[in-house]
Structure 1
C-alpha cells in the first residue's frame, strides 16, 4: 500500500523515474525505508467539484480504468514514473528519414517537419553520437531555404542539424555567417558561434587526426622547401670559393680549367650514384659548411637535423593516415556515431577471432552499444567479457552495474558500484548511481548519504546528472562512465606493418637512399663530420669573401699581405695606395659600386618574388630564413589546400577558400616585412 511521506523526503529526493515494477518513494514511509512493513494510507475524500465514484456494484468502464490506475500507482509504475525506453531501434531511423524525403517530394512540409522531429528525438533516445551525413543534408536544405528567404525553416533545420551531429562545425559556421551578413558591426555573437564550431573538433578523434595530419604535412613541406632554397642560395654564393681552394689542393702545374672540371665531377657524384635529393642537399651543406658565417651555420644545421629526421616524420604521417581503418577508429564510430549493422558484425567477428587488438575495449564498446538499443542481455555478456580481462576497471564495473540496474538486479548492481568506487574514488557517477539504487529500494537514508558524497566530489556534475535523470530517458536513468581515450587509438596487428611499407615507398619516391632506419644512423654520422670540420677548419687556410668587392681573400695567393681581411686589389687600392695609379683606384671603386648596385637590384627583386632570399644575399641569415620559411609554408598551404587526408564531410569550397585566405595573409605579411627592410636599408 501507500503511506504518507514527509516534506523533507520529498525535497530530498526529486521525482526520478525508475524502471517499471519498482516502487517509488511515495509507496512507503520511513518505516518502509527502515525495513518495517508500511501501514496503509487513509483514503482521501474527493475534493469539491470532482467527480464522485460510481455507486458500489456498478462496474463501469471508468471505474475499471480508475482501478487499473490505482493498481499501477501502488506498484510505483504510474505515468511519469517509468523509465522511457527507446520507442524503436536504429532501423526505425532509416524509415523515418525515407518518410521525410517522401513528404518533401510531395511538398508536404508540415509532415516533413514532424517526421524530422521524431527522427531527432529517436536519435537522442538511442544515444547515438553524430549522424554526419544526415546533418549535412539538413545544412544544405537550410542553405536553400535561406536563398528562398525562408528564415524560420532554415533556423529549424540548422537547429536539428546541430542536435544530429554535435561535433560537426558546419551548422554553426552557417549560422555565424548568416549573423555576420545580417549585422557585420556586431561580431560578438558571431565570434561566440565560431568558438562553438571550432571547440568540438578535437573531441572527435577522426577530425582531430585529419586536422593534425594535414597541418603537420603542410608545415613539414614548407620547412623543407624553405630549407632547400636557403641551402641552394648559399651554395651558389660560396661555390666559387670552393673551386678556388680546390685548385690549391692540386699540383701547381694544373690549369684552372682542369681543376674546375675535376671539382665539378666530384660534385656530380651523388646524383650519378643515385643518392637522390637528400644526398644532394647534404653534399651542398658539406661543401659550403666551412665558408658559412655562424648564423648561416645555425640555419643550415637545423635544416640538416630536419632532413635526418624526415624518415621518422614520413612513418608518423603514414600511421596517422591509416587511423580511420584501425580498430580504435571503428570503435569510435560505434561509440559516438551511427554504426551500421555490418560494422557491428565486423567488430563482433573480430572479437571472437581475436584480431581486433585488445579484447576488453572492443567488448566494452559493444556492450555499451547494445545497452543503448535496449538489448541488456547482450550488453551484460560483453561487459562481463571485458571485465574478465580488466577486473580493476572502474568504468567497466560501473557500466555493467547500470545494465544490471535496468534488469532489476539491484544487489548485484550495488556490489559492482562499490567495486567502481574502490577503483576510482574520485568519480561522481558510482555515488550517484548508488543513490538511485537505494532510492529505488526505498532505503532513503543510504540514498541521501551517497547523493551527498557525490555532491562533495562535484556539485555541478551532480546537478547535471539529476537534471538528466528527471527527463525519464533510459540513457539518463543511471550515469555511465566514459571509456579511456587510449581505447580509441588502437592500431591493430597489421597497422604498423602497412604504415612501415607505405613510409618506405614515400622515402624512395623523394629520392631517399637506404632504409629509413639506416638513413638515421648515416645522418647521425654526417652531423658528427660537420662538428669535426668546425674543430679542424681553423687550421686550414680557406679563402674568404672580401668585404669590399667580394673576391676571394686567399692567404696562399697573397701570402705577403699583412692584412688577411681584404683581397690584394682592395688592399693596394684603399689600404696602401702608395705607387698605385689613381685611375686604377677609381676603376676599382667603380667596379665595387656596380657590384653593390647589382646585389641591391637582385635582392630587391627576390624580396618580392621569393621573400627571404634578398635578406640572405645581404648576410641577414636569421631574418631571411624566417621569411623564407613563412613564404614556403604559405606556398605549401596552397599546393596542399585539399589536404593529403580528405574530409569526407566537407561542405562546398569554404574550407579551401579559408586556407587560401590564410596563405594570402602570410604572403602579404612577408612582402610587408621585405618592403620595410628595403626602406631601412636605403635609409
Structure 2
C-alpha cells in the first residue's frame, strides 16, 4: 500500500515537471503545493515552486522558496544555482557568484547538466527544475582490474614482445592527442572564457557566444538589468581573473600537459589528456614497483623507441600548449 502511494506521488511529481516545461505554471504550482503538504521530496518541491513563482512574476516569493529549499537540504545545488540567477538579475554580483560557487562545490556534474538544460529549455534560459536526485551523480568506479586478466588481453592484442606493445600504445596515444588538435574536434577540448577565465567545455555549455561560458552568457542576457557602474566593476574583475588564470594554465600545461586544464576547472578532459600522456611515456616506466600497481608490464627499451616517443611528445607538446582555439 505504501509503495503504491509512493509511486503515485512520483508520477505526480513528474507531471508537475512536465507542466513547468510546457508553461502551465498554475497547474504545476497546485501539484507541487500538494506534494509539499505530503512531505514528498520537500526540498525539490520548494525549488520547483520557486521556478513557478518567478515565471508568474512573483520574484520575492520565488527567492523565498529557493531559500527554504536550501534550508531543508544542503544537497540541492539546483536551488543554489537558481538563487544565484535571482541575485544576478538584481545586480547583486558578489552574492550571485557566492551561491554559484556553493552549487558547484556541492555537485559539479549537476551544474554541467544545468548549463546544458538551460540552453535547450525555454524557462527564461535560466532556471532548472529538480529532475534528478543528486545521489545519481555521486557513484564512483569501484571495480578493480585483475592483473592476470589484463596481461592476457594485452598478450592477444600485441603478442609477446614488450617492445611492440609499448610502441603501439605510444603511437595510439600520441595519435589521439594529435586528433584533438584538428579544428573540427577542437570543440571537445576545454576552452577558455574570455570574461571570467574559467576553463569550460564549449560542447557542454552550448553558449552561443564564442569563448564565453554558460554563466557569462547568463550574465550577458541579464546585463541590461545591471546598473552601468556594477557592470564596469564586474568587467574589470573578470578581466583580471582571466589573465591570472590564463597564465596559470599555460605554465601548468608546459610543466605537465593536461594539468593546466585540471587546475583551471577540474575538467575531466584534463584528466583524459593527462592519462594519455602517462600512457605515452609508459615505456619509460621501468620500476617494477610502479608497474605492479599501474600497469603490469615488463618493458625492454630500445633507442629507436625512446627517440620516437620523444619526437611524438615534442610535437604534441607544441600543439597542446600553443594552439588552443581560444588563444589564437
Pick the TM interval, shorter chain.
Answer: 0.3 to 0.5
Q: Higher Cα Rg: structure 1 or 2? A: 1
TM-score (norm 1): 0.18
**TM-score by structure 2 length?**
0.35
